[in-house]
Amino acid sequence: MVMEQVVEVADGGVGVAVEDLEQAGEVADLLAAAAREAIPRFAIGTPGDPSPLMLRSVYAMEKPPGEVPFLDAQMSKQGLAKLDIATARNHLVEQFLGAHEKYGYPEPLQWLLQVDGDAVVHKGTLQRLQSWNVAAVGALCVTRYRPFQPVVYRGLCTDKGGDMRSYYVQWQEVREWCAKYPQLLNPHGPALLEEPPEDALHEVDWTGSHCFLVHRSVYEAIEPPWFENHSNVRWGSGSDRIFFEKVKAAGFQPRVDYSVVAGHEAKMVLGMADFMAWQAISVLEDADSASPLAVSAGAQTASGEGRELEDVEAEVYVGDDVVRVAGLVADGEGVAG
């Protein structure tokens, strides 16, 4: 809007010769506002090894006015030793915090959107995440390997001391959300609700670093290293969990925006459709119990009587991939990842 107003004023000749000081002040204010909008405030970064699909989706993503630098920690650059993911993410944060000095920006960058090299994002991802104006928020995504679970963790499950902690996966909450908003079940992965529901933003204990937006103040409040691996952390929770525990300890609340899905590239791009399909398959394998999933996903009747497999898959998985999923289920192999 500001840029449009500046153009209109300039076209009227006011930018060249003004009639009074008040009008000159208005023009100066508009030009100053336009200049402020052009100051880089956002950066998009990856720990490294971005796939062509990731790069294509980031390129197509809608961005704010001004320059939006792309930072690459180059964890797998040819000729360099491969960095572990925690070290790569720390390099990325260092690049972000020092970008204004390196590139001569008039002000420090304020927001860093980290996008993994195997992520595929919707074009509205950055604008949607930033629209909440919260310090740390991630897009909804699923794990790369089956069972395709949402990377949404809330509630301490076990705490053995030190770094040995586990949290509950909010699979039921996410399943009910996806059943309520089937627009998110894009068989190609990334998705976005055009109008975000008021309850789309969910507080979590931690989420993944697959696609998340963090304000500069969060990194400045945490003593480096921001990400770290511990030898006694197992089974994939790794540096993501430890980072978000540090975020909470610094007084910031991590959140996940359920209105936007970041795809996860494997042999195909995974999304919430794969999560829901896997949930339906799990019910089919246990036809003796009529769970809430069976009713909501249409996998069984309340009496436990199963439907035809193709009908179930058609309800949760749309497009050519229906055949792929149904065929694998018929063979008793589940959904390929």
Can you give 268-333 as a three-state secondary structure string?
CEECHHHHHHHHHHHHHCCCCCCCHHHHHHCCECCCCCECCHHHHHHHHCCCCHHHHHHHHHHCCC
Q: Is 322 exposed, middle or buried (0-12, 13-18, 19+ CB in 10 A)?
A: middle
pLDDT, tens digit only, all 337 positions of the chain:
333 332 233 333 334 344 555 666 665 565 555 555 668 899 999 998 899 999 999 999 999 988 899 998 877 665 555 678 888 999 999 999 999 999 999 999 999 999 999 999 999 999 999 999 999 999 999 999 888 999 999 999 877 766 667 899 999 999 999 999 999 999 999 999 999 999 999 999 999 999 999 999 999 999 999 998 866 655 445 789 999 999 999 999 999 999 999 999 998 899 999 998 888 876 555 544 433 333 223 332 222 333 232 333 323 322 333 323 232 322 222 222 2
pTM of the predicted model as reported, rounded to 2 decimal places: 0.73
Length, in residues, of the chain: 337
